[in-house]
């Protein structure tokens, strides 16, 4: 298992090289109950989910072990030198449980489907003759009451109705449990002594900012560190040395959200250089970290970024698309960011798991604000609140904070979505997870997203911001839009009266099948989705003058779910189709978001949705 080591994103630097291992891998599913027999060996793209790639229905809904394998030629220079470079194999993510071998030697095991893991494979590769490196991955997507997300395996024992050994995977969340190697696999090198981790926090006033840093080095006790902070023109604006310190920046360019500033997402580059003596040889390592200077502060009724009130007008997303499932796909990622900016969205929540680092990089660069959510979705069963689940949840928060702690776009952690937080053990559970997250990162507020009753929720006392999901006139009083004003107003007032904390409407929405029309509006028509949004917006417009600090539509795009009698090829609550084409509701939201942006902006209202895209 991975220790408390750093998890810096692999980058090419003067001292580090990277080799991406995407493309075709050999793949086989253990299709039969016998240990030795498996399905055929086939080609499988990486990164991608395996579920939708073939015409085999047994692979679409497969539960159990699958195998991936690839042979890679290593550059000879990676194996030479005294000391030889350190060689690391890293997976951006693989769902859910992974065991990895290199040349037949097990190098790492990892539980969790949405965060990176890696292994130092130097000794294994140097012990093998030649430069061929065989990477084998066993992957299991089974979910249990103690995984995150949880699930359970249900055996159907009625012989009259089910074949022998028949089972199904039960999940308590509404999205398809795609599996596979979902994010890039890379080999990268560092010197034998290297920069292992960097932690950055920032504080600022009107005229100056401080960049506090902490750097850890592994492989050498005798080393020196020098740091330079460069602006976007490449000019050095501050320097420092040593493992801990602060850099003072005069008249800093702050990191601002999209539509709050004419230059959103301003990033400096922190260049860290290490020199170390190892066995009489001088080694040098260089790593460059993007740094955004910004502060976050929560009051009883406001969310402040750089001291200015910030209103979340954004979306919930999924990593989900045709054919590739949850596999990382650059055209899709760039299309989604272009749609977000067209929409006038300034934020999203990573519902319901951490997203790819490549997506987070663009949030930092474009000024898209992120509520960074753990895979804690579907925590419904009492046994999922026990000590075993809790310990794993704490470990997952450590992995998530370690990966994303330096990102200016991340302004809040979310530890869970719609847990059964009315259950008695939820109090201790969420108190512990939230306290642990704050201890790991005191610089950001922490929340979880609730759909429990305000009077019964046992986790809410511990959050900094109340995030509420509600589906009035959809799951409750379906078809009755007229109840929304009363019910939504009561929801906000009850929560605020009880907790005096700012509130985000973290989910609301309605399914609409594109091309289905009805006036007067009826459920599943594009008109009903539009009407429901407008009813919610009229209440939000009153409450955002008081203590409501945001609204996130469910969902950005249609996405795949398990099959069920209320799901026609997935969840249709997207304002865009799964192919990213707008439904009528997208235009309602776009008009609203640009209106809100122009109200609160210090920019001239010349920024219209059109001028940005001409």
CATH number at residue 126: 2.60.120.260
Q: Is the pLDDT of residue 607 over 90?
A: no
Beta-carbon contacts of 14 under 8 Å, excluding residues fewer than 6 positions away, are 284, 286
pLDDT band at 614 (very low <50, low <70, confident <90, very high): very low
Is 609 part of any domain? Answer: no
User: Does 405 lie in the same domain as 366?
Assistant: yes
pLDDT, tens digit (0-9, with 9 covering 90-100), for 342-366: 999 999 999 999 999 999 999 999 9
One domain, residues 338 and 379: yes
pTM: 0.96
Domain contains 154 = no
In a domain, 7, yes or no: no
Least confident of 103-107, 125-129, 253-257, 558-562: 125-129
Distance CA 537, CA 540 (A): 5
Query: For 272-288, what is the mean pLDDT?
Result: 96
Does the pLDDT at position 398 exceed 90?
yes
Q: What is the DSSP letter of 384?
A: G
264 and 337 housed in the same domain: no
Q: Summarize pLDDT for 440-451 with one digit per residue, the tens.
A: 999 999 999 999
Residues 488 and 449 in one domain: yes
pLDDT digits over 69-86, tens only? 999 999 999 998 889 999
Positions marked catalytic: 418
What is the rounded average pLDDT of the residues 33-58? Answer: 87
Pairwise CA distance, residues 545 & 336, whole Å: 30
Cβ neighbours, 10 Å, residue 357: 20
Query: What is the percentage of the chain residues whose pLDDT exceeds 90?
Result: 92
Residues 6+ apart with CB under 8 A from 521: 481, 527, 528, 530, 531
Which of the listed residues 274, 291, 308 is the one where a domain comes to its end? 291
Distances (CA, A) of 224 to 13, 213, 244, 283: 18, 15, 12, 11
Shared-domain flag, residues 62 and 186: yes
From the list 42, 44, 23, 51, the residue with the least C-alpha distance to 321 is 51
Both structure tokens of 12? 């090419």
How far, in Å, are 64, 352, 392, 536 from residue 469 at the CA level? Answer: 33, 13, 25, 12
Q: Which pair of tokens denotes residue 502?
A: 């700012």
Residues 284 and 314 in one domain: no
* Over residues 203-230, mean pLDDT: 95
- In this predicted model, which residue has the larger pLDDT, 458 or 221? 458
Split at pLDDT 50, 70, 90, the class of 610 is very low
Which of 291, 307, 324 is the last residue in one of the domains? Answer: 291
Residue 575 within any structural domain of the chain = yes
Task: Tell me the average pLDDT of the chain.
Answer: 95
pLDDT at residue 35 tops 80:
no
571 inside domain: yes
Residues of the domain holding 513: 296-600
> What value does the mean pLDDT take over residues 433-441?
98
CATH number for the domain that contains residue 273: 2.60.40.10
Measure the CA angle with vertex 353, ends 349 and 357; round to 5°: 80
Phi, psi angles (nearest 5°) of residue 584: -55, -35
Same domain, yes or no: 364 and 408:
yes
pLDDT at residue number 606: 42
Are 272 and 334 contained in the same domain?
Answer: no
Same domain for 366 and 426: yes
Rounded to an integer, the average pLDDT of 159-166 is 94
Residue 533 belongs to a domain with what CATH number?
Answer: 3.20.20.80
562 located within any domain:
yes
pLDDT attached to residue 602: 58
Cα gap 161→242, rounded to integer Å: 69
CA gap 84, 380 in Å, rounded: 50
C-alpha 549/C-alpha 59 separation (Å) is 44
Same domain, yes or no: 376 and 329? yes
Contact 274, 217 (CB under 8 A): yes
Looking at residues 588-597, what average pLDDT do you find? 98
CA-CA distance, 227 to 191, in Å (whole number)? Answer: 18
The pLDDT-based confidence of 36 (bands split at 50, 70, 90) is low
Residue 2 has pLDDT above 60, yes or no: no
Query: Do both 447 and 433 map to the same domain?
Result: yes
Q: How many domains does the chain have?
A: 3
Residue after which a domain boundary falls, among 252, 275, 291? 291
Cα 144 vs. chain centroid, distance in angstroms?
21
Q: pLDDT tier at 206 (50, 70, 90 boundaries)? A: confident
Average pLDDT in the 401-420 region? 98
Q: Is residue 146 part of a domain?
A: no
- Looking at the fold, whether 369 and 437 belong to one and the same domain comes out as yes
280: Cβ contacts below 8 Å, ≥ 6 apart? none
**Can you give the C-alpha Rg of the chain in angstroms?**
25
| 104 alpha carbon, distance to own chain's centre | 32
Mean pLDDT of 162-191: 96
pLDDT digits (tens, 9 = 90+) for 237-252: 999 999 999 999 999 9
453 in any annotated domain: yes
pLDDT at position 34 over 60: no
């Amino acid at each position: 298992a991975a220790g408390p080591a750093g998890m810096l994103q692999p980058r090419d630097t003067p001292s580090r090289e990277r080799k991406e291992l995407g493309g075709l891998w050999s793949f086989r599913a253990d299709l039969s109950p016998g240990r030795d027999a498996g399905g055929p060996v086939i080609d499988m793209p990486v990164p991608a989910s395996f579920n939708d790639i073939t015409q085999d229905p047994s692979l679409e809904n497969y539960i159990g072990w699958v195998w991936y394998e690839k042979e890679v030629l290593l550059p000879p220079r990676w194996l030479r030198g005294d000391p030889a470079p350190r060689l690391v194999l890293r997976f951006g993510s693989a769902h859910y449980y992974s065991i990895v071998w290199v040349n037949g030697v097990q190098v790492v095991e990892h539980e969790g489907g949405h965060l990176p893991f890696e292994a130092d494979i130097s000794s294994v590769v140097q012990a093998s003759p030649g430069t061929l490196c065989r990477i084998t991955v066993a992957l299991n997507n089974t979910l249990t009451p103690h995984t995150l997300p949880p699930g359970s395996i249900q055996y159907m024992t009625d012989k009259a109705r089910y074949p022998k050994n028949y089972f199904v995977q039960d999940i308590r969340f509404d999205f398809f449990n795609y599996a596979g190697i979902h994010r890039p696999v890379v080999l990268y090198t560092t010197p034998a002594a290297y920069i292992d981790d960097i932690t950055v926090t920032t504080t600022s006033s009107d005229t100056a900012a401080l960049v506090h840093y902490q750097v850890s080095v592994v492989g050498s006790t005798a080393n020196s560190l020098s740091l330079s902070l460069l602006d976007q023109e490449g000019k050095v604006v501050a320097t420092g040395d040593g493992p801990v310190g602060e850099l003072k920046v005069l008249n800093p360019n702050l990191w601002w959200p999209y539509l709050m500033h004419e230059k959103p997402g301003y990033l400096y580059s922190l260049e860290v250089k290490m020199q170390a003596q190892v066995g009489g040889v001088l080694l040098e390592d260089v790593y460059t970290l993007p740094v955004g200077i910004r502060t976050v502060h929560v009051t009883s009724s406001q969310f402040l970024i750089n001291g200015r009130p910030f209103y979340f007008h954004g979306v919930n997303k999924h990593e989900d698309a045709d054919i590739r499932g949850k596999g990382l796909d650059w055209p899709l990622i760039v299309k989604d960011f272009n749609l977000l900016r067209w929409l006038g969205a300034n934020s999203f929540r990573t519902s319901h798991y951490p997203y790819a680092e490549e997506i987070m990089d663009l949030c930092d660069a474009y000024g898209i604000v992120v509520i960074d959510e753990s895979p804690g979705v579907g925590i419904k069963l009492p046994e999922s609140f026990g000590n075993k689940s809790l310990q794993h949840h704490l470990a997952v928060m450590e992995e998530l904070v370690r990966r994303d702690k330096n990102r200016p776009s991340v302004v809040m952690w979310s530890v869970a979505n719609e847990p059964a937080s009315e259950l008695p053990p939820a109090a201790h559970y969420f108190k512990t997870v939230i306290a642990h997250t704050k201890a790991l990162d005191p610089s950001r507020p922490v929340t979880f997203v609730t759909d429990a009753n305000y009077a019964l929720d046992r986790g809410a006392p511990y959050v900094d911001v109340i995030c509420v999901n509600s589906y009035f006139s959809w799951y409750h009083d379906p078809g009755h839009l007229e109840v929304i004003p009363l019910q939504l107003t009561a929801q906000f007032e009850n929560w605020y009266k009880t907790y005096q904390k700012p509130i985000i409407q973290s989910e609301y929405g309605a399914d609409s099948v594109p091309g289905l029309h009805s006036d007067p509006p009826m459920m599943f028509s594009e008109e009903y989705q539009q009407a429901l949004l407008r009813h919610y917006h009229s209440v939000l417009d009153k409450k955002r003058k008081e203590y409501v600090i945001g609204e996130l539509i469910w969902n950005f795009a249609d996405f795949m779910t398990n099959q069920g009698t209320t799901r026609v090829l997935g969840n249709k609550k997207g304002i865009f189709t799964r192919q990213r084409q707008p439904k009528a509701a997208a235009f309602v939201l776009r008009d609203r978001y640009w209106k809100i942006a122009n109200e609160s902006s210090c920019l001239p209202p010349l920024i219209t949705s059109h001028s940005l895209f001409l």
